[in-house]
Amino acid sequence: MEGLCLYSYVSNKNLYLKKCKEMLLLRFGEKHPTFYVHSFGCQGNIAEGEKIQGILSELGFSKAFDVNFADIVILNTCAIREKAECRVFTHLDNLINLKKVCTNKIIGICGCMVQQEHIKQRIEERFPAVDLLFGPHVIYKLPELLYFALCNKKGIYSNISNKESVQEGLPTLRGSHIKALVPIIYGCNNFCSYCIVPYVKGRERSRSFSAIVDEVKKLVENGYKDITLLGQNVNSYGKDLNVKDGFAKLLYELNKIDGNFRIRFMTSHPKDFSKSLIDVIASCNKVCRHFHLPVQSGCDRILKAMNRKYTVNEYLNILSFPPASAEWV
Ligand code: SF4
């Protein structure tokens, strides 16, 4: 069960990592430059922020705990909630003022907001001092974009392209030594009528089975105890790889990994929730016996208007099978 990986950060990393490090040396001398990454929104964004931190660490940056003292500040944005968008612009106003005093400060904006053309244009027009703009699907390009910024050009790349779908081998600097977020599928195909995700994150792209199993094995070897598998629609994992019950099979395989740890996942879509998935959850002792299954509405007319693709009865049916495992749901 292999996913599409058209770009490997590992095999291509020497291209711009080296050039970028040389430019950083010119700008900062022997002093270690520092980064501050602020991720807004969902766990998926937090996981992507950890990859940005990993790349910056690999470039020689160390983490700053105060935005005022960071040499590079990256706002990893969310487009789902208007409040999060407003907060980004407030942060940006403050950062631009800071940059007037600390002229060497590099400012980057990434994440879902940047994927909307009107927001990207607004940032470019209102905040020309922003150095980096890039979407969530091209995090691996950060060394290249940063290199351009260090050469006093703009590092801008925000178009969704399904050719650049799954990135493997990116370094990760996690926020915890116990809990780990592991994305298994990116994007969404569902087009719920109220949601922007398919437009900013693209269509569903599953990571390869082997890449996920290897990552979880390494995490467990390194002492992680709590693994959360992530996806906008986590239980449609594997469909784009033409694998039936791919998510149930993945849980089953992960459960076989030796070690004392537990597995969670979020978020599930009712239309993809199957009896075989419930059976696997019930039979796998490392898989936590709880799941998030958004109802959204108790009215079929509203569910249809939301384009949720299930009815109230279909939702209730999920909760009723199988009787043996229903007691723990
Ligand atoms: S399934 Fe979730 S992420 Fe996908 S369109 Fe619907 S609400 Fe948005």
Whole-number pLDDT of residue 322: 61
Q: Where are the beta strands (DSSP E) in the chain?
A: 7-8, 34-39, 62-63, 72-77, 106-111, 132-134, 155-157, 167-168, 179-183, 185-186, 205-206, 226-230, 262-266
Whole-number pLDDT of residue 170: 92
Whole-number pLDDT of residue 185: 96
**Count of other CB atoms within 10 angstroms of residue 242:** 8
Give residues with Cβ within 8 angstroms of 259, minimum separation 6. Answer: 220, 221
Whole-number pLDDT of residue 323: 47
* CB-side neighbour CA atoms (13 Å) of 307: 7
Whole-number pLDDT of residue 269: 95
Whole-number pLDDT of residue 22: 92
| Distance between CA atoms of residues 74 and 145, nearest Å | 13
Q: How close is the Cα of 187 to the center of ligand 1, in Å? A: 9
Chunked mean pLDDT (size 10), the chain, 329 residues: 42 75 90 94 94 95 95 94 85 94 93 90 91 90 90 69 72 96 95 93 93 98 98 95 94 97 96 88 91 93 97 91 52
Contact 45, 88 (CB under 8 A): no
Q: Which of 329, 257, 323, 322 is nearest to 286 (CA)?
A: 257
| Distance between CA atoms of residues 308 and 191, nearest Å | 8
- Tokens found for residue 167: 């990135």
Q: Which of 121, 246, 131, 227 is nearest to 183 (CA)?
A: 227
Strand partners, 111: 77
**Count of other CB atoms within 10 angstroms of residue 34:** 18
- Tokens found for residue 69: 């003292």
Of all protein residues, the one whose alpha carbon is nearest to atom 1 of ligand 1 is: 190
Q: How close is the Cα of 290 to the center of ligand 1, in Å? A: 20
Whole-number pLDDT of residue 132: 93
Of all protein residues, the one whose alpha carbon is nearest to atom 6 of ligand 1 is: 192
Whole-number pLDDT of residue 166: 84
Residue 322 one-letter amino acid: P
Whole-number pLDDT of residue 159: 61
Ligand 1 atom showing the smallest separation from residue 201 Cα: 3
Ligand 1 atom showing the smallest separation from residue 191 Cα: 5
Domains detected in the chain: 8-157 (3.40.50.12160), 174-326 (3.80.30.20)
Residue with tokens 């009815």: 311
